Amino acid sequence: MTEAERDQKYPLPLHRIVRVELGVKSYNILIGRGLMPYLGRFIGKHVIGGDESPVVLISDRNVLSLKWSEDIRNPWHSWGLLDGVIPGEESKSMKTASELLSALAKFRLPRSGTLIALGGGVIGDLAGFVAATYLRGINFVQVPTTLLAMVDSSVGGKTGVNLPEGKNLVGAFHQPKLVVADLDTLATLPAKEFSAGMAEVIKYGAIRDKALFDRVSRPVKPDDADLDEIVEKCVSIKARIVERDEFETKGERALLNFGHTIGHAIEKATEYKSYLHGEAISLGMRAAAWLSRRDAGLSQEDARDLDLALIANNLPVVLDKEVDSQSILAALGNDKKVAADGVNRWVLLTKLGQAESGRVVSPALVEQAVEYLRTHPDDL
């Protein structure tokens, strides 16, 4: 049976497709529901070597324990399923990457092989880095299972691991061959994790799409009928930015870092234990909006609307009392986005739906922005 005949007799589920145009590195992002059981067929249609090339799956223990993961695990259980990575940011390390690289070598995975990253942002970044460095680069497929990974980390080719000195300080640009986002996987996601993903969704609306922002300023849930459209809009924004600035050398891709400068510093200051990534970004966006009011002309009304959107989607807007402000400010110096002159460059909003990158902000204002996070919007 030919591929066309198989598709006609056993049609694939309906799904949206976003194309990332990067010449020979171009790839598709598939978004829909009920896609997971068809993953092998999607790989066969979209990945060089198809479903005949050797495949190895990397995931974490939480994902592999879920019943729906059997749809993806079973085809490779006897050959290419690595033991599940311990869940959490601490696994995004050189130690874990080295262990996975050794496992691939023991498998004797050839350069024609394909690595599947099944999980959230930690697994996607980690497995992508392993794929980028094993045999100087092999194919890999992103299968994000969290909202944050679907709209952000699985798209664009940024891979990497953390060092004790800071987040994502070791990495490589290595584009996937395919991204498959099955929205049904979000049904098993803890509510806290889904909310964390909404921080990145709100970010896209804030920097590029006011209509998207207006939609997601109301609560979004995993079973919403328009979730596929929301995810499509987010990845389309990122795809267009990545196409124009793949290696973040022209300034445009830096727009995607809105809220991340202080957000990453909060993560490091709390040793990645107090906040999920999206929760830290929520606080970072609120601080960046405060800076935007002082330095980029953002209106008080727009800043307030951002606060309300974060609150509506159950994201934190007040920094925990135990978190030391000086630790956050010290962590800013180790951010990977610090320029050669040692100065942070900020992404600020001029209005909702429009952002600018490359801004220099005085240290005194940055310190005030961190302190601003001590106050709830209702108390202002």
Q: pLDDT per residue over 281-329, tens digit each?
A: 999 999 999 999 999 999 999 999 999 999 999 999 999 999 999 999 9
Confidence (pLDDT) at 77: 47
The average pLDDT across 239-262 equals 96
pLDDT in tens, 117-147: 999 999 999 999 999 999 999 999 999 999 9
Domain boundary pick from 165, 188, 211: 188
Q: Give the single-character DSSP code of 273.
A: S
- Band of residue 253 on the pLDDT scale cut at 50, 70, 90: very high
Do residues 180 and 255 both lie within one domain? no
Q: Which domain holds residue 106?
A: 3-188
Do residues 171 and 265 both lie within one domain? no
Domain boundary pick from 150, 167, 188: 188
Using DSSP bridges, classify how beta strands 27-32 and 178-182 pair: parallel, antiparallel or unpaired.
parallel
The CATH number of the domain holding residue 23 is: 3.40.50.1970
Do residues 175 and 274 both lie within one domain? no
Residue 158 lies in a domain: yes
- Measured CA to CA, the distance from residue 284 to residue 366 in angstroms comes to 11
Do residues 262 and 181 both lie within one domain? no
Do residues 251 and 371 both lie within one domain? yes
In the chain, the number of structural domains is: 2
Domain boundary pick from 151, 166, 188: 188
Confidence (pLDDT) at 167: 85
Confidence (pLDDT) at 40: 85
| pLDDT value at 193 more than 80 | yes
Hunting for tokens 């986002």 — which residue is that? 181
**Rg, Å, the chain Cα set:** 20
Residue, of 73 and 367, whose pLDDT is higher: 367
The CATH number of the domain holding residue 321 is: 1.20.1090.10
- Band of residue 262 on the pLDDT scale cut at 50, 70, 90: very high
pLDDT mean across residues, the chain:
92
Do residues 167 and 59 both lie within one domain? yes
Considering only CA atoms, which of 153, 152, 154 is closest in space to residue 201? 152
Confidence (pLDDT) at 49: 65
Is 288 within 8 Å of 349 (Cβ atoms)? yes
- Band of residue 51 on the pLDDT scale cut at 50, 70, 90: low
